[in-house]
């Protein structure tokens, strides 16, 4: 490190889902804008999506053979201690070779061994916790972290109060300004300018219940004059695509993954989404009417907690996962049939946005590098 010349070495660890990966990339991009000569090393979990998405964003990544505990009785759990020891050893070697000035953990499997080894070597660490309910790994690592950047108030129930920085979640820069992008989005996705557009996103891996609800209502949605841009997730895409083709629907557009999210958001009149931390943070900046369908398959039901902060501010509508199949079109009809509600939801959700989150996180990071 040569601080006078703005030359730093920053290691960023974590991943597993887009909710961990995109904040990590946003932090790196914001730091690089301020200190262009910085060298970065990302550390992820082998076989997870960060091994593809991080190089796409222009950064180097190393993978650890690390995995999570399966909740069901599984033989794969027997190999966990060996994978953990292997990951700790490799994390230590990477730190020894790269010599980072600071290590950032964003959550996910790879975050724990890297932060643990960095803390053992007395390297400054920063945790970025995206959710309203902190994960076990971050709670354990918080004791020796220098700073903990959080996206929700009242996080002192999980972390030492003196280390907390309320920054919000960092998001992709391209969604901060959607002006003039709607026409590009309609053309990109082959959408009609004459139909109301529903954007359906179930997270980076897809959402089974939301996909089932779309299958149940897709004919009625098309016949009612809507068009749907539908991110199915890679596990569900082939099945969903085949069913849309079999039904001969021209205005239901299933896609495995939406890379140009700014264009997708720009086209939408209404957005149906899971309530993961990153989705919630991005949608507050987008400023559109949103229906949140929280996933029930997450620790401490934190997606419902994420969504309720918006519902209580009259900034979004909540539809329970258990009630979505058979009720999706009715909910869409009720909202889009009330232009005053559409306008109110779009206006109120923007009051909860934190557009400078990435900049505030890099200020916290800069402060811990001595």
- The structural domains of the chain, with segments of one domain joined by +, span 3-169+355-368, 174-350
Give DSSP secondary structure letters for 213-238: HHHHHHHHHHHTTEEEEEE--TTTHH
Q: How far apart are CA 308 and CA 173, in angstroms?
A: 26
Q: pLDDT tens for residues 277-327?
A: 889 999 999 999 999 999 998 877 889 988 998 999 999 999 999 999 999
**Is residue 270's pLDDT more than 60?**
yes
- Comparing 340 with 77, which gets the higher pLDDT? 340
Q: Are 321 and 296 within 8 A, CB to CB?
A: yes
3-169+355-368 against 174-350: fold identical = yes
| pLDDT exceeds cutoff 50 at 252 | yes
pLDDT confidence tier of residue 79, bands split at 50, 70 and 90:
low
Q: What is the mean pLDDT of the chain?
A: 91
d(CA 135, CA 132) in angstroms, rounded, equals 10
Q: Determine which of 65-69, 73-77, 320-324 has the lowest per-residue pLDDT on average.
A: 73-77
pLDDT at position 69 is 44
Q: How confident is the model at residue 5 (pLDDT cuts 50, 70, 90)?
A: low
Answer for the pair 31, 51: CB distance below 8 angstroms, yes or no. Answer: no
- What tokens does 230 get? 């539908």
CA-only gyration radius of the chain, Å: 21
Q: Binding-site residues for UDP-N-acetyl-alpha-D-glucosamine, please?
A: 17-19, 131, 172, 204, 277-282, 303
Q: What is the pLDDT of residue 19?
A: 80
Express as a percent the part of the chain with pLDDT over 70. 94
Give the predicted TM-score (pTM) of the model: 0.83
Q: Residues 210-235: pLDDT tens digits?
A: 999 999 999 999 999 999 999 999 89
Q: Over 50: is that where the pLDDT of 71 sits?
A: no
Interatomic CA distance for residues 293 and 276, integer angstroms: 10
Q: Which of 38-42, 58-62, 174-178 has the lowest mean pLDDT?
A: 174-178
Give the C-alpha separation, 109 to 232, whole Å.
Answer: 24
Record the tokens describing residue 40, joined without a space.
Answer: 């970065």
- Residue 277 near residue 155, CB atoms below 8 Å: no
Going by the annotation, the residues of the binding site are 17-19, 131, 172, 204, 277-282, 303
Measure the CA–CA gap between 89 and 92, rounded to whole angstroms: 5
Assess contact for 169 and 278: CB atoms under 8 A. yes
Six-digit token string for 44: 């992820």
Class for the domain spanning 3-169+355-368: alpha beta
| Mean pLDDT, residues 168-174 | 88
The domain made up of 174-350 has a fold known as Rossmann fold (3.40.50)
Q: How far is CA 223 from CA 172, 189, 229, 290, 327, in A?
A: 35, 20, 15, 22, 16
Nearest of 29, 302, 292, 310 to residue 170 by alpha carbon: 29
The pLDDT of 202-214, averaged and rounded, is 88
Q: Let me know the angle formed at the C-alpha of 311 by 286 and 229, rounded to the nearest 5 degrees.
A: 45
What angle (nearest 5°) sits at the alpha carbon of residue 111, between those of residues 157 and 259? Answer: 105
Residue 7 scores a pLDDT above 50? yes
CA–CA distance, 161 with 119 (Å, rounded to integer): 19
Residues 86-113, mean pLDDT to the nearest whole number = 94
pLDDT at position 73: 47
| Average pLDDT value for residue range 116-144 | 92
pLDDT at 34: 94
Which carries the bigger pLDDT value, residue 311 or residue 131?
Answer: 311
Taking the C-alpha atoms of residue 64 and residue 333, their distance in angstroms, rounded to an integer, is: 47
CA distance readout (Å), 124 to 17, 343, 363? 25, 45, 14
């Amino acid at each position: 490190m040569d601080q006078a010349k703005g030359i730093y070495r920053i290691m960023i660890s974590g991943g597993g889902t887009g909710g961990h990966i995109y904040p990590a990339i946003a932090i790196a991009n914001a730091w690089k804008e301020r200190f262009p000569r910085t060298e970065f090393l990302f550390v992820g979990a082998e076989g997870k999506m960060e091994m593809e998405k991080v190089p796409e964003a222009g950064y180097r990544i190393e993978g650890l053979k690390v995995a999570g505990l399966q909740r069901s009785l599984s033989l794969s759990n027997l190999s966990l201690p060996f994978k953990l020891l292997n990951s700790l050893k490799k994390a230590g070697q990477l730190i020894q070779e790269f010599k980072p000035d600071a290590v950032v953990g964003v959550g996910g499997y790879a975050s724990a061994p890297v932060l643990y080894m960095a803390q053992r070597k007395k390297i400054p660490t920063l945790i970025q916790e995206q959710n309203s309910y902190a994960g076990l790994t971050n709670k354990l690592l918080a004791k020796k972290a220098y700073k903990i950047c959080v996206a929700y108030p009242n996080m002192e129930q999980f972390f030492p109060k003196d280390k907390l920085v309320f920054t919000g979640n960092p998001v992709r820069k391209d969604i901060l300004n959607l002006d003039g992008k709607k026409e590009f989005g309609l053309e990109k996705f082959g959408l009609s300018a004459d139909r109301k557009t529903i954007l359906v996103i179930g997270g980076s891996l897809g959402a089974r219940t939301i996909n089932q609800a779309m299958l149940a209502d897709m004919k009625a949605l098309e016949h009612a004059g809507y068009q749907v841009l539908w991110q199915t997730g890679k596990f569900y895409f082939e099945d969903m695509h085949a069913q849309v083709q079999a039904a001969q629907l021209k205005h239901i557009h299933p896609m495995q993954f939406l890379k140009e999210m700014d264009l997708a958001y720009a086209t939408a009149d209404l957005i149906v989404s899971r309530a993961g931390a990153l989705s919630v943070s991005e949608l507050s900046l987008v400023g559109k009417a949103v229906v949140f369908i929280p996933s029930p398959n997450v620790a401490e039901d934190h997606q419902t907690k994420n969504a309720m902060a918006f519902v209580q501010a009259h900034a979004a509508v909540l539809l329970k996962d258990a009630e979505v199949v058979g009720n999706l079109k009715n909910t869409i009809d009720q909202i889009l049939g009330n232009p005053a509600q559409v306008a109110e939801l779009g206006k109120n959700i923007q009051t909860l946005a934190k557009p400078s989150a990435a900049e505030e996180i890099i200020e916290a990071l800069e402060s811990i590098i001595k």
